[in-house]
């Protein structure tokens, strides 16, 4: 057994949470890279069912390579989970039940029922459960959100080029869910109705989608998500009484404009680009998780947030399937993988990359 995993040898590092990364594919490798350099964390292991991939990540970070999560028993305080969505529940639940804190990538589970099980396990054991809605940690989003108050209309474009990664879920759960989380955070009202359309273009799952959400507050949000476009665009625009806020997540830029009204005078418009401190969103997310594990309070994006975004993503997917414009709440009890199954004659196997 590697000394890095020997729970009896904590020495001067005993105040730092012992963390492992489970799943070191494309995204998990970035988890390991960042955690290995964070002063508040002690990366003790990287786990992947592909031994060569685990070994490569271990060589890059100095952590111990493992091929089975069971090797972590009693030797870690927390885990970041970057395995395919279909494995989130199966891997995270036993860890949470044992009191190991977990940061699980989005979507946090296949179904709302699975998400509820993870939340319940964390509450019972006292473990931290965080969900990887990384865009919430984007410096531009962090600057913009305090300025958004009672928005009336929200326009979102999140489009990018095709990649063979994350094809175990459709574009709603892979891409749009980032913005569903942000919108739910800003609007502060329930979604009343949904109109949505999705098209499978390059894969057998929806690759481009548009959703129009009407909230009980009267706010309307129009979202477009694509993973088959030539350009890379990550923009949110918020329109509210006497103000407009534009967020470019890719460039980490924010513009804000406001109308000032003075009795007896013409309204004046002032604004422009706001100061945004540069930073890597994933690094900020992992720092927040480490802080929470160390007892610094709840994570910015917890299990309840992840569940809320997942439930709404299911409602959007159901709206695309049914063509109806009003979708009852909590239809997300059905697994997103159940909705993608076809009959045996046309069946296809789910695939995914950590």
N-terminal to C-terminal alpha carbon distance within the chain = 25
217 shares a domain with 172: yes
Tally of structural domains, the chain:
2
Q: What is the DSSP letter of 302?
A: B
Domain presence at residue 297: yes
User: What is the structure's pLDDT at 14?
Assistant: 67
Task: Specify the CATH number for the domain of residue 159.
Answer: 3.30.360.10
Domain presence at residue 342: no
Task: Specify the CATH number for the domain of residue 93.
Answer: 3.40.50.720
Q: What is the DSSP letter of 77?
A: S
Domain presence at residue 340: no
Ramachandran angles phi, psi of 277, nearest 5°: -70, 130
104 shares a domain with 223: no
- Contact between 154 and 238 under an 8 Å Cβ cutoff? The reply is yes
Residue 147: both structure tokens together: 């300025």
121 shares a domain with 28: yes
287 shares a domain with 260: no
295 shares a domain with 261: no
Domain that holds residue 317: 136-279+309-333
162 shares a domain with 232: yes
pLDDT tens across 3-12, in order?
444 333 333 4
297 shares a domain with 275: no
Which residues in the chain come in under a pLDDT of 70? 1-14, 164-168, 323-354
Residue 55: both structure tokens together: 């070994």
178 shares a domain with 36: no
153 shares a domain with 74: no
Q: What is the DSSP letter of 329?
A: T
- Contact between 200 and 206 under an 8 Å Cβ cutoff? The reply is yes
Nearest to 131 by CA among 94, 96, 170: 96
- Residues 277-313 as b or e (16 or more Cβ within 10 Å = b): eeebbbbbbbbbbbbbbbeeeebbbbbebbbbbbbbb
């Amino acid at each position: 057994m590697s000394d890095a995993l020997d729970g009896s040898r904590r020495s001067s590092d005993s105040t730092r949470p012992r963390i492992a990364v489970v799943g070191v594919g494309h995204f998990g490798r970035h988890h390991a890279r960042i955690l290995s350099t964070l002063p508040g964390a002690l990366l003790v292991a990287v786990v992947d069912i592909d031994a060569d991939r685990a070994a490569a990540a271990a060589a890059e970070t100095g952590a111990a390579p493992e091929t089975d999560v069971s090797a972590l028993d009693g030797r870690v305080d927390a885990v970041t989970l970057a395995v395919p969505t279909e494995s989130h529940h199966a891997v995270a639940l036993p860890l949470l039940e044992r009191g190991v804190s977990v940061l699980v990538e989005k979507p946090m589970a296949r179904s709302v029922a699975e998400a509820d099980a993870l939340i319940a396990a964390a509450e019972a054991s006292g473990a931290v459960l965080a969900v990887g809605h990384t865009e919430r940690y984007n410096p531009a989003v962090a600057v913009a959100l305090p300025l958004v108050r009672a928005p009336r209309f929200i326009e979102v474009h999140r489009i990018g080029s095709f990649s063979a990664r994350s094809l175990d879920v459709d574009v709603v759960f892979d891409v749009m869910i980032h913005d569903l989380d942000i919108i739910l955070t800003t609007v502060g009202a329930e979604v009343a109705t949904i109109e949505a359309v999705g098209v499978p273009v390059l894969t057998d799952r929806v690759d481009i989608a548009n959703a129009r959400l009407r909230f009980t507050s009267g706010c309307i949000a129009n979202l477009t998500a694509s993973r088959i476009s030539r350009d890379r665009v990550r923009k949110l625009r918020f329109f509210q009484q006497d103000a407009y806020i534009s967020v470019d997540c890719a460039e980490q830029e924010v513009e804000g404009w406001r109308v000032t009204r003075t009795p007896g005078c013409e309204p004046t418009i002032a604004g422009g680009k706001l100061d945004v401190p540069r930073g890597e969103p994933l690094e900020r997310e992992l720092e927040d998780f480490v802080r929470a594990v160390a007892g610094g309070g709840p994570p910015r994006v917890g299990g309840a947030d992840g569940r809320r975004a997942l439930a709404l993503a299911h409602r959007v997917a159901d709206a695309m399937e049914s063509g109806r414009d009003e979708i009852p709440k909590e239809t997300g009890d059905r697994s997103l993988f159940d909705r993608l199954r076809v009959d045996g004659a046309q069946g296809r196997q789910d695939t995914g990359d950590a």
